[in-house]
Amino acid sequence: MNVIEILKAVLFGIVEGVTEWLPISSTGHMILLDEVIRLNVSEEFLSMFLVVIQLGAILAVVLLFWNKLFPFSFTEKPHVKKDIFEMWFKIIVSCVPAAVVGLLFEEQLDAWFYNYQTVAVMLILFGVAFIWIENKNAGKTAKICSIPEITWQTAFLIGMFQLIAAVFPGTSRSGATILGGIMLGLSRTTAAEYTFFLAVPVMFGASLLKIVKFGLVFSAPELMVLLIGMTVAFLTSIVVIKFLLGYIRKHDFKVFGWYRIILGIVVLAFFMLR
């Protein structure tokens, strides 16, 4: 495996680690990156790689939020943290809509919507939505300021927003759930944290399905590309998650809305003019 392929894998890991957590669509960026910088791998491996690389990003969430994710305490008085158990059940509720639709219609949805036109349109539409929602909510106080305050109904409705991202590439899973959370009364920080936690079962499940479908037989170069991509995505995600949580304590999401609009226009122009 040559140095160029290693550098390509590093770049894919950086882009994944940045775009998975910022509400700007990892799919849109990966499509552009794949057009500009081609990995020397088969189409089957690439399809699997672009999903399984997310496992590195998941590990970053688990590391950073372990105390908020692990429901057992093994201190002098071992006990179960009931609030964390309840949170996980709410996350399962949020996962149900996208999981059902994905399992039943994954191939049809990919055939219908996995194209640059859909990605570009959803980038622009949700960019406009972010700006509109933030302007509408300016000066308002959030009704839900912590994850334990999220009701079962709210958890399900957030799952419906995640369903939109599962159906339409370019929406951004984090973008859809954060925007949905804000519309439902969550504070920006709470919406972002819940989105991070929701990503753990979603990404793990999607990665597991892709690995099973691809099989566990990797060539040495393929395994190296996958491990490098996941490791870089993990390290990048740690930095990006910390940045985002610090950023949204003082700023809104409008800058990401404008970025999405510009990126959507770039995607359309790139593919129409090439």
Residue 1's pLDDT is 63
3-state SS, residue 80: strand
Asked whether the beta carbons of 147 and 141 are under 8 A apart, the reply is no
Residue 30 pLDDT level (bands cut at 50, 70, 90): confident
CA–CA distance, 120 with 11 (Å, rounded to integer): 22
Write the pLDDT tens digit of every residue in 88-125: 999 999 999 998 898 888 788 888 888 888 989 999 99
Write the pLDDT tens digit of every residue in 113-167: 888 889 899 999 999 999 999 999 888 889 999 999 999 999 999 999 999 988 8
Residue 237's pLDDT is 97
pTM beyond 0.85: yes
Q: What are the C-alpha distances in Å from 201 to residues 44, 96, 140, 175, 196? A: 23, 11, 32, 17, 10
Residues paired with residue 186 on neighbouring β-strands, in sequence order: 144
Instruction: Show the tokens assigned to 73.
Output: 């305490």
CA–CA distance, 68 with 52 (Å, rounded to integer): 24
Residue ranges with strand state E in 15-93: 72-73, 79-80
Determine whether 3 is exposed, middle or buried from the number of CB atoms within 10 Å of its CB (0-12, 13-18, 19+): exposed
DSSP annotation of 37:
S
Instruction: Show the tokens assigned to 112.
Output: 């219908």
CA–CA distance, 103 with 71 (Å, rounded to integer): 28
